Structure 1
Amino acid sequence: MRAAVVTAFGGPEVIELQDRPAPTAGPGEVVVDVRLTDLIFVETAIRQGHHGGFFDVEPPYIPGNSLGGVVRSVGEGVDAALIGQTVVGRSKGFGAHAEQAVAVPDQLVVVPAELNLETALAAYGDGTTALMLEELAPELIGKEVLVTAAAGGMGVLLVQLAHRAGAHVIGAARGEAKLDLVKAQGADVVVDYSVPGWEKLVLEATNGRGVDVVFEGAGGELGATAFTTLKHGGWFSAHGAPSGGFAEYDAAEADRRGITVKSINDLRADTTTTKVTGAEVIRRTAAGDLRPVVDRVYPLTELAAAHRAMEARQLLGKALIRIT
């Protein structure tokens, strides 16, 4: 089978298309003929050798985790009725950017007939995290909510959810095209955080009171600045790191001001207290609660180009990878 392989830690040029042995389904496993895969920013950081404390992987490896396709075969103990079903979900570990990938049934969701595979897959990964944040966050109705990296795959979903919940939504992104996209998702105010002093515009949008909730997906200095816009007793999620690291904040100040902070550990499957399932994500997507924005669909042969576009912040919404 054809597969994209990260041959060493480094830039996008380390990604090569190779022939690899096709996987077989072991006990409790299935093999999926992959049609589409997702691409999220953290995969570019893993390719560079970052986040080793969260992701245990060494080159050479087949990247990718979220996938959509058709179940090809099942292993011992798995219901054969799954064969031929169109599914979205997660591969077992990495390995999704390939013509076939191994998964376990409880990490897959059958795609309902009313939902196309592209929409289901685009919503699946980011939608899971977005619904986790929705569950963790306080009641949003009537609240001032700031979403950073608001034009990214997950950012647009968070803007939609906050708008639907009745919040006054401030979306922060970079450049006119991204701000237009964020506005179209339901943001009441948009702010360009490439402009020095952008946090003052956020405060102006709240009449100087500050925001109640920050969904912080930018990380780094942008995330640290977003933290300063919170009012006393606010709520802050530091879930994104495209700037090179998660948002830094003063824990003592957070404690003094009564600010609740949720980190990436609160969103990990092994540590989260939320109960969001893949089936719930697909149900909410089919109902129209989650409307992912797909900017580009790259062929597998251009995975390196997709990484470059993501690192250059060129995407409006999501990039998907078409395998077959």
Structure 2
Amino acid sequence: MRAVWLERFGDPSVLVPGEAPDPVPAPGQVLVDVAYANITFVETQFRATGAGPFRAEPPLIPGNGVGGTVGAVGAGVDPVLLGRPVVSSTGGSGGYAEKAAVPAEGLFAVPDGLALDEAVALLADGRTAVMQLRAAEVRPGDRVLVEAAAGGVGSLLVQLAKAAGATVVAVAGGARKLELARELGADHVFDYRSADWAGLVEREVGGVDVVFDGVGGEVGRAAFGLLLPGGRMDSYGLAGGEWAAIPAQTAAAREVRLVTADRSPEHLRACTEHAFAEAAAGRLRPVIGQRFPLARAADAHAAMESRATLGKTLLETAP
């Protein structure tokens, strides 16, 4: 099969197209004929340094999320799954390929009304957005600041917070991204590339009740400074290269709660299924901003790292 290999940690050029043996599903596994592979920012960081939640050494086939149809089943798996459209995590590797063997118990059926590529776009980002929204307990009337509001998770948080009755303050970089955030329902938009973006938020909005911090670093710390007493901050990403790292005592002194999402397997599945159901019903729109052929995985990573992308970036296996 065709695949993309991570030969060593480094810049995007270390992602090299090549061949690999077709995986064989073990007992309890299925073989997915992959149509789309999901790319997350965490994967670009892993590729660069080996840091992150994945524990593996190159050479390997990266990729933690796939969508396609079930082409074969291992022992103990109901053959009724054959031919069904599904999405699944791979466990951290094996996704940038034409075929992937994954545990049958981790499959998600693609519901009616949801396209396969949209389901792949929601697999990681939809789950994350729903988890963060629930953890922060967003209520009607809250003023909610969403960082990286035109990204995969941020674009979904804008929609979910708006649907929950919040006033949404979207922060992103550049006119094109701000336009997308407003199109998705944001009430206020601010460019964090402006030196005084936080001051502009304070003057126009007057402080916020919730911060969804997917950037970290100086942006996350500036956003924390906008929180009102009783506010909640959920730091779930470090696209800026470091966590915001707000000390607990600093938050307590400001009467701000630093929240952490429930990451139990049961909650992860429930959040994923909720995102799928909302999208299938037309109430949540995954933004697929760019698609790359499988062999151009390096270009996809470079585009994400350059901050030139909107929404979700997918790899397609079709020639």
TM-based fold match above 0.5:
yes
CA contact (8 A) 1:44 1:307 kept: yes
Instruction: Give, in whole Å, the separation in 2 of the partners of 1:216 and 1:50.
Output: 23
Instruction: Give, in whole Å, the separation in 1 of the partners of 2:269 and 2:229.
Output: 28
AA aligned to 1:111 is: V
After TM superposition, give the deviation of residue 196 of structure 1 in Å.
0.5
Match of 2:234 in 1: 237
Query: Aligned residues, how many?
Result: 318
Match of 2:5 in 1: 5
- The answer as to 2:25 corresponding to 1:31 is no
Q: Alignment partner of 1:48: what SS?
A: helix
Instruction: Give, in whole Å, the separation in 2 of the partners of 1:68 and 1:30.
Output: 12
Q: From the superposition, tell whether residues 143 and 245 of structure 1 become closer, same or farther in structure 2 (CA, over 3 Å).
A: same
Match of 2:252 in 1: 255
Match of 2:115 in 1: 116
Match of 1:295 in 2: 289
Q: Tell me, which stretches of 5 or more residues in structure 2 are unaligned?
A: none
After TM superposition, give the deviation of residue 104 of structure 1 in Å.
1.2
Q: From the superposition, tell whether residues 275 and 109 of structure 1 become closer, same or farther in structure 2 (CA, over 3 Å).
A: closer
CA deviation string 1:1-29 (max 9, x = no partner): 11111100000010111111111111111
Instruction: Give, in whole Å, the separation in 2 of the partners of 1:170 and 1:280.
Output: 24
Instruction: Give, in whole Å, the separation in 2 of the partners of 1:113 and 1:141.
Output: 30
Match of 1:311 in 2: 305
CA contact (8 A) 2:209 2:231 kept: yes
- The answer as to 2:207 corresponding to 1:213 is no
Give the share of equivalent positions with the same residue, in percent. 43
CA deviation string 1:285-322 (max 9, x = no partner): 10123201111110011110000000000011111100
For normalisation by structure 1, the TM-score amounts to 0.94
Instruction: Give, in whole Å, the separation in 2 of the partners of 1:55 and 1:267.
Output: 19
Cα RMSD after superposing both structures? 1.6
Match of 2:21 in 1: 21
Deviates more, 1:86-95 or 1:174-183: 86-95
Q: Alignment partner of 1:316: what SS?
A: coil
Deviates more, 1:231-240 or 1:181-190: 231-240
Q: From the superposition, tell whether residues 281 and 140 of structure 1 become closer, same or farther in structure 2 (CA, over 3 Å).
A: same
CA contact (8 A) 2:25 2:101 kept: yes
CA deviation string 1:120-177 (max 9, x = no partner): 2112220011111122122321011000000101101000001111111100000111
